[in-house]
Each structure stands twice: as structure tokens, then as C-alpha cells.
Amino acid sequence: MSDVQSSSDLVPMLLRQPSSAWQAVRVATRVEAMGLLGTGARRERMLDLVGDAFEALDRAGIGRRDLASLHGAGPADVAAIVSRVAQALEASPHPDTEWEAVTARLGEEVVARLCHVSASSLTRYATGARSTPDPVALRLHHLALVVADLAGSYNDRGIRRWLDRPRAQLDGFSPASLLVDDWDPDDPGPRRVAALAAALAGAGAAA
């Protein structure tokens, strides 16, 4: 990493305490779902995933100051630092990689429908022929984070089914039915979808 500890030093620090380990793993799965790890094979070992994910964050310029502060941080500070990194990641849409990563899991039809874009627009955004408008980038990023939180419980087909099946926790609505038209991640429906997915990841009210 450019300004932070090497992953061989960083990962044991992140995973040593439950308070930071869970958050570090969640950050890593979100980095993967956002496509920041590239298109190579998925990491089988959690140690590799966490190490590569935090290096990818540094390369992408996300949470870089907090990542650098991990160097020399005491055990009591690591959890708070990782929490700030998680917040920075949540606030950092990255459509250049998210289009390919999310589409690979959900398929173009689902992503176009949930991001409220046409199939032709999705192709132009994904290939870089057109810049992704900010509102669309926010919807795509929200969807990537939901996918990340679901990935620990479902495979890709299961995630697609989860999105379209009615949920008692959503008053009988399906998650997809709350992601309609020009929705914004801060709208009540999308926030409920994110909270439900986060609960499956063990986050509960932390989403």
C-alpha cells in the first residue's frame, strides 16, 4: 500500500478483535461487490480478501487518511478507524467498476430495471461511452452495497430471488418494488431495503 502498512502487517491487526474484525470483513465484501478488486477470481481466504480490499481502497483514494492512521494505531483505536473507513466507502460511488461487478451478479435486465435506466444507457455507462449521471451512480452504489450484504447468505441466483420476493419485514412488499422510478438511496423504501440486507449480514441497525 502506498501510505499505509503492508497487508501482511495490516490484516492481523484488523482481525485481532471482534469489534474491528466484523467491520473489516464487511468493508472487504463491499469492496469486492463494488468491483474494486478487479475481475479476477474471488479470494477464497478471508485473510487475502481483507488484505487485498484495503489495498484497493488506498488505490481508489477512499478513506486514505484513515487508512494511513492505522499505522501505529493502538487496539482501542482500530475499530473506530475501520468504522470511518466503512463510512467513507458507503459515501463513495464508483460506477467505473460497479457497473461490471453488479451486472455480473444480477444481470443487465435486473440492474437496468433497479437503477431505472434503459438497457442501451446501461451499456453506454458501463463501457464509458457516457458518464454515469450522479443520481444513477448513487442508485448503482446502493445496489452494490445491498448485494455485498446479501452475498454472505445467498449465491447470485439467490440474491436475484431475494430482491423480487415479498418480505414480511417490508410489509409484504418485495425489495425491488421499493426501488422504483427515480428513487434516491435516502428515500424511506431504499433505506428499509438496505437495513434488511444489512440485518442478514449481522449489521442490524448499523446500516
Query: Max Cα separation, the chain?
Result: 50
Dihedral (Cα; 18, 143, 140, 101), 10-degree rounding: 70
CA separation for the pair 110, 105 (Å, rounded): 10
Q: CB neighbours (10 Å) of residue 75? A: 11
Model confidence, pTM? 0.90
**What does the pLDDT profile of the chain (207 residues) look like in tens digits?**
454 445 556 788 888 888 889 899 999 999 999 999 987 656 667 788 899 999 999 999 999 999 999 887 887 899 999 999 999 999 999 999 999 999 999 999 999 999 999 999 999 999 999 999 999 999 999 999 999 999 989 999 999 999 999 999 999 999 999 999 999 999 999 999 999 999 988 753 343
Report which of 24, 23, 22 is spatially closest to residue 10, judged by C-alpha positions.
24
